[in-house]
Structure 1
Amino acid sequence: MKKYIAASIIVVTTALVSAAVVNKRNDNIKICHSEVVWIKDNGTPDGISLKSKMSILTSNDNQGRINVYGYIKDKDATYRLDRAIYFNYQPVDKKGNYAVNFTSSSITTSDNTPDDLFSNFIQLEQDKIKYYVNITKMEDNIYILKDEAYSSFTCHVEK
């Protein structure tokens, strides 16, 4: 009888450990790469332009990070952009619409973009702004991300 109890405990323990390992593997991070050019009107002929490479990392716990590497040009000044922007997201419906809240950022020492200039493109948590994004799958691993202002860009997801 003790053998059956011991065997049952071993089987249950093995099943629980296996389930935990499988669930851990399912909590994978998806990485999406893109290059973007955004121009914001500021009353000058050229506006403020942001040109960068982006990597968007998302996890199953509805959190993510955007790594932005490029530059912002305002009038005759060009600023280096190299930062990570953290966010959380929630699905709004089953049609690919999400509410996104940018929560914080991490700025590298090579980034010399003033925060007030960068906030023309993305505003962080202190403003309590929710952005609404639609994600549409075009092909295997290719997605279009579009916001409510109808700016959009394509993104290639790593497998």
Structure 2
Amino acid sequence: MNKAIDPKMLKSVDRQVPEIDPARVQVQAAGQVWREYFVRAPQDFVADDLKEPAIWKKVQAGRFGLKKFDRVFVVAFDESWVAEAIVASADIKGAVLAKPRVTTMPERYDTLFQDENYRIAWNGFGYIVERKSDGHPMTQPTANPDLAARLLAQLYPARVA
């Protein structure tokens, strides 16, 4: 016997929008009138979150507080998209971006190196060697995948003469 589901019984699960970490905000240029910022978004951040002024709350409380007409360049954690916007208004509680222009980045043409135990992955700061069995990072972030591949090779015992 099929019973209709009462919509009042369903509860929506509100997603907690991650806030921008002030440590991930860098000044690109500081001019006479406005500044330009490079921002790396948190891992669970999606482009639609740019509509929420409160994501900038921690940034506004720090030394890189946004002000009207500042330019912001936001990069997704996994670098799958970027967004460019102008600050329309800002106060201590947050900042409103005027019409962020989101650009989707193309997929990688080359795959990152991996073997049976480890893989090279991007962690938001750089390329790391990650253990496949549990996702544990085995190295510090590096600037490029080639350096990470060298560190991966060093994880295996070497024959000493």
Fold match (TM-score > 0.5) = no
Q: TM-score, with normalisation over the residues of structure 1?
A: 0.30
Structure with the bigger RCO (C-alpha within 8 Å, sep 6+) is 1
